[in-house]
Structure 1
Amino acid sequence: MRFRRLGGLVAALASAALLAGLAAPAEAIVGGTAATAIKAGEGTFEYVNPHNGYDRWATCTAHALGSDEDSETDLLITAAQCVTVMPGQPQAKSAADSARFAAFRHAAERPGPGAAAPDAARSAQEGVKSVPEDPAAFRYVYGSTNRFTGKSVGIRKWIIPKDWNWGVPDAQGRIWDIALVQLQHPIKTRGAIVAPLRPGEITELGWGHTDPRPETWTGPLGPRLHQTTVHLASRSQCAAGGIGTNEACLGVAADNGGTCKGDAGGGGVRRWGSQWVLTAIASRGIENRCGTANIYTQIWPYGRWIVHQIHDLEPHLRVEATRAGSAQADFALAG
């Protein structure tokens, strides 16, 4: 599906009506190989100011929403944990809640009480359960597998689901580790088409740590994007991380690698015709180490929520069709 905004910016994903029937964590990545190209609009968040004594301190991954190299976008998709302040240890209502929060604490780049600006907290959407980080403290770096040579743009706004609560599920068992990001201005980049997660090869990407041992996760992330290939695994393999509704378990790579601390918010991408499409974003591991199965947030089931947020930001949108191999849409839903 394709949305075109009056004034020329194409927007994407299907309308709420069309989606009504849908059901269906150094360098990066433990193991794997250096990525030679950006896939599905991947970039990374960095602190604007020095952090822990380092410049260019990266935190999480995000994907620009789009598919046309010649158009612009000002929207990203990432994990909600990347844009909200991790609370102190909450009182868990169940063993699964406790397992989820422990997994998030192991995965998060900024554990412990954060420093969200009071103005940012006051400006959060009404009813949001988690305190947002200050968007002015971050920038998005994109357009290069080496983030030190990428372009950058400031953050205007985080768009956080009201039910995101650091592992506490909603009434349907959804964890909501997903968020949209509005940039300070549109950027020209070939972004991500969103597609359902299917069995088969899935490419994990990220700038996260490459050593699986937690004692090595004290320094900054390195400059280069890495990738590895995994397959969809049984949900039972991710039970230790409290896997929820609309989450998926991705298995361990052939070289015993996978996502690690600092990879949160990134894909889960696969081939769709001649293009790479985004199916899921990294949420958390299941142990306090890397090289295990990992829990990902499936994006497709949240399509209706995403479309509603885009419509609120960009009310003048119309829907057109896009097909495999097409590079016409900016923000699109495959199929």
Structure 2
Amino acid sequence: MPSFLHAPVGRRAALGGIASSLAAAALPVRASEAYPSRPVTMVVPYTAGGSTDIVARLIAQKLSEILGQPFIVDNKGGANGVIGMDIAARAAPDGYTLLMNTAGAQALAPVIYKTKFHALDSWEPISLISSIPFVIVAREGLPVKNFAEFAALAKAGNPPLSASSGSSMIVLATDQLKRVIGAPTLINAQYKGTSMQAQAVIKGEVDVSFDSFVTLPQIKAGKVRALAVVAPQRAASLPDVPTLAELGVKDMDFASWSGLLAPKGTPKAIVDRLSAEVQKIVRTPEMQERLKGLDHTPVGSGPAEFAKLIGDDYARWQRVVKETGFKIEG
């Protein structure tokens, strides 16, 4: 018979307490080692087929292969991302519900809508996967060759120029552009969705548009003209097109991004493991090529860097909304 069974009651209790403590201490390790033990849902707060959905499916497929459980993309579009974000934010923080999101929904929606979640405080950032530049394009026939000529024409306002917007983020970016270049007569024509917004400038219904590279084939074919890239650096697919910052235009850093998050309270061991795997995935030549094919700039950051970006973007959008007086109609 084991000797501890003959020990005094006090000593047996102490030994039992030590054993319980050791077992409890081992639980988080075992939990992280076993994760995932069942399918994981990756919520995308947009409809299927867009670039965010494509990125989610690329990452989900690789995580499934590496971690041995299905990562299932669940599209929950509507209300500029708010519906899907609300579903993810209310999910159990156990690592089995994740959110693939963009700057427009993550950092802007909580500024302009009365959401039940916060841009940063309601989440555990996992990894910034890629940054997404915008390009300002002009319709065929608009008598401008570069951004400076467009700005001068827009400021003159005779006749007023028009710009198409297809999301809250682009509406705000257009309003901010009007302010920084001093073109109050620039008409902000709002369309239902970014694809319709892009078609508007391709068809010549409006003069210019902020575009997430949907119009790249038309740019290459000379059907529309790229005036400037809205991002910290030039786009790889348009190396000769300057950024707004290069042109001396300030307060117009509206690059978007795609990133993976989990509900607040998700165990750090799970967040760290997912982040490490996503970073490895993003750095593979295959994923680099796929992301660049979507005109995304691959990043693959850690949680801390991603959290800082979300916080910075949230603060920027708060300032821009205040400066432009932007309000949701209806």
TM category (shorter chain) comes to: under 0.3
Looking at secondary structure, tell me which structure has more strand per residue: 1
Higher relative contact order (CA 8 A, sep 6+): 1
Looking at secondary structure, tell me which structure has more helix per residue: 2
